[in-house]
A and B are shown apart, each in its own frame.
Chain A
Amino acid sequence: MTTPSNAVPESLNQQGIDAQRIALAPLSATRPLYWSIRREIWENRSIYIGPLVAAAVCILGFLVSLIGLPRSMYDASAHHMSPTGMLAMPYAHVAWVLILTAFLVGIFYSLDALYGERRDRSILFWKSLPVSDFTTVLAKACIPLVALPLITFVVTVALQLIMLLLSAAVLLLTGAGAATMWARLPFFQMEFVLLYGLIVLALWHAPLYAWLLLVSGWARRAAFLWAFLPVLAIGAFERIAFRTSHFGRLLQDRLMGFAPDAFAFHTPDGLPVDPHFIPVAALTPGRFLGTPGLWIGLIFAAIFLAAAVRLRRYREPI
């Protein structure tokens, strides 16, 4: 038992802690969010391992393709046929592979985010700490909407840089047009377009991830089925009842509909833009921001996330 003599140092200690608490107060708004995001990355290592593995596969494939590079450089300089597009093709392909990887990782992450913590009962531990449900859901939404695009960007830039250096080395050794490549591959422009594309994609896909997060917080089992079967059911019902497929087109638009608004696939003179190399001039952020689809999607995302926050308050281990 504590003796009364302990009372004095105890109260001093109390004052010290109060002072410490005052010092920490201004920080406390963002600190829980920062640590919650870190905690997500600790738990779900696929967030960075997925893109890294995809990058490793790309590098291997690219190494094999290097054998034919001097030959195609020769063709490019001989025929003058969209050399930039052709040169940029492998770079575009690896970027697409990484974007697709991040998309899949994001889907599976979101489906488990609010489900896993209930299944392993750890929700009781997280709820024993002064982190609000809002902060928790926000941190989980930040993974597919901020963390994954950022990781995709960093890994892709590093990957493309390695590819560039490798091909420069091969071309220098064989003496076939290293200068042509340096001149015709606008590396920085490529990375800028990638960053733009990732932001566009995150904004456009936000309602998809938010929906998956909501289902993961709601389902007591088989979150995957709950997320996808209702969508399939609505589509099937519409098809059978009205022989139309508006819902299907809506979904397709939600997946890919960002492209015609965010990019101009024709130059002002009506020439098609090679999708392997989209120049900065072909970016249309103004048109993208003016698309009702973007804002409607974001409103839905906000509604889904708000529902997920509200739901988590009621959630207990399953």
Chain B
Amino acid sequence: MACIEARALRKSYGTTVAVDGVDLRVEEGRILGLIGPNGAGKTTALNAILGLTPYEGELKVLGRDPWTARDQLMRDVSFIADVAVLPRWIRVSQAVDYVAGVHPRFDRAKAEGFLAKTTIRRTSKVRELSKGMVAQLHLALVMAIDARLLVLDEPTLGLDILFRKQFYDSLLNDYFDRTRTIVVTTHQVEEIQDVLTDLMFIDRGRIVLNCSMEEFEARYVELAVSPDHLAAARAFKPIHERQVFGRSILLFDHGDRQQLAALGDVRAPSIADVFVAVMGNQSAAAQGAAR
């Protein structure tokens, strides 16, 4: 069964279309990165998936309609929204008690175990914790829930690099077990490149790219070329070109690695580079269409 299945998913606020007819299928056991510029509709799409916002079109999450069955869905889904949303008045011990009280699949010992690795005191209130500690607390609560789908919307926003690294490490080592599904959005694309199994670019409410990481690696190739081979390389129709230290870096979609290798250094591009290329072409196309 697909974990998330959407057909013609659409959501508009007044005249602004946030999600514009998205078809989507996320299988169980995948780690999907949802990448897009600000205002692309990522959070709106996630809110629809989590039952936080009404939508048009068809959407099933773990076989349920999230809008009408949010409370049942939340037994199998957990999420961390884009900023720390733990109430500031709550004590750490109260937060653990409450989640243990209302969530049938919460493992208290597991949460205590995660918290023991931090410097968070049980008697502290959330307002007394640092930003990183609040995120750690939220993560400890969420990772102790035996959920089938975990949704993370900018989970590491505003956290230092050490903590971000730790976050994704513990997500992979302590949480992900190949049966769970994780959907994550972030602007720090390079940090999740090795974590993802699937990748989706979203822009202006539409899916621009949707592929597995294997497909991504097979499809995109980057070539660093010196000026004398530039013209020959350009003949292969790169989708993007940039200059680094006097050499040109060309990005190819479905490029022939052997032919390209003869012209310069071939390497795997980062998600960030492909993102810039694909999004740049998108907005150029959009501007062209507008004219």
Q: Decide: A42 near B177, CB < 8 A? Known: A1-B172, A35-B101, A314-B54.
A: no
User: B103 near A129 (CB under 8 angstroms)?
Assistant: yes
Q: Which of B38-68 contact A (CB under 8 A)?
A: 47, 50-54, 67
A42 to B51: give the CA distance in the assembly, Å.
27
Segment of A25-33, A144-152, A200-208 engaged in the interface with chain B: A25-33
Min CB–CB distance A106 → chain B (angstroms): 19
User: A43 near B70 (CB under 8 angstroms)?
Assistant: no
User: A34 near B101 (CB under 8 angstroms)?
Assistant: yes
A316 to B53: give the CA distance in the assembly, Å.
8
Q: 9 pairs across A/B with beta carbons < 8 Å?
A: A2-B176, A17-B107, A21-B104, A35-B98, A43-B87, A123-B85, A128-B50, A128-B80, A131-B71
Which residues in A have their C-beta under 8 angstroms from that of B67? 313
Min CB–CB distance A108 → chain B (angstroms): 16
Which residues in B have their C-beta under 8 angstroms from that of A34? 101
Q: Which of A109-124 contact B (CB under 8 A)?
A: 117, 120-124
Which residues in A have their C-beta under 8 angstroms from that of B74? 127-131
Interface size on B, residues (CB 8 A): 42
Which residues in B have their C-beta under 8 angstroms from that of A121? 81, 83, 85
Interface bits B85-98 vs A (CB < 8 Å: 1, else 0): 11111110010011
Min CB–CB distance A158 → chain B (angstroms): 26
Interface size on A, residues (CB 8 A): 39
A82 to B94: give the CA distance in the assembly, Å.
52
Which residues in B have their C-beta under 8 angstroms from that of A39? 94, 98
User: B87 near A125 (CB under 8 angstroms)?
Assistant: yes
Which residues in A have their C-beta under 8 angstroms from that of B53? 316
Q: Decide: A128 near B94, CB < 8 A? Known: A1-B172, A24-B104.
A: no
A43 to B73: give the CA distance in the assembly, Å.
26
User: B102 near A130 (CB under 8 angstroms)?
Assistant: yes
A32 to B102: give the CA distance in the assembly, Å.
5
User: A129 near B146 (CB under 8 angstroms)?
Assistant: no
Closest to B67 in A: A313
CB of A10 within 8 A of chain B? yes
CB of B105 within 8 A of chain A? yes
Min CB–CB distance A313 → chain B (angstroms): 8
A133 to B52: give the CA distance in the assembly, Å.
11
Which residues in B have their C-beta under 8 angstroms from that of A72? none
CB of A36 within 8 A of chain B? yes
User: B87 near A130 (CB under 8 angstroms)?
Assistant: no
CB of B188 within 8 A of chain A? no
Interface bits A226-257 vs B (CB < 8 Å: 1, else 0): 00000000000000000000000000000000
A35 to B97: give the CA distance in the assembly, Å.
9
CB of B234 within 8 A of chain A? no
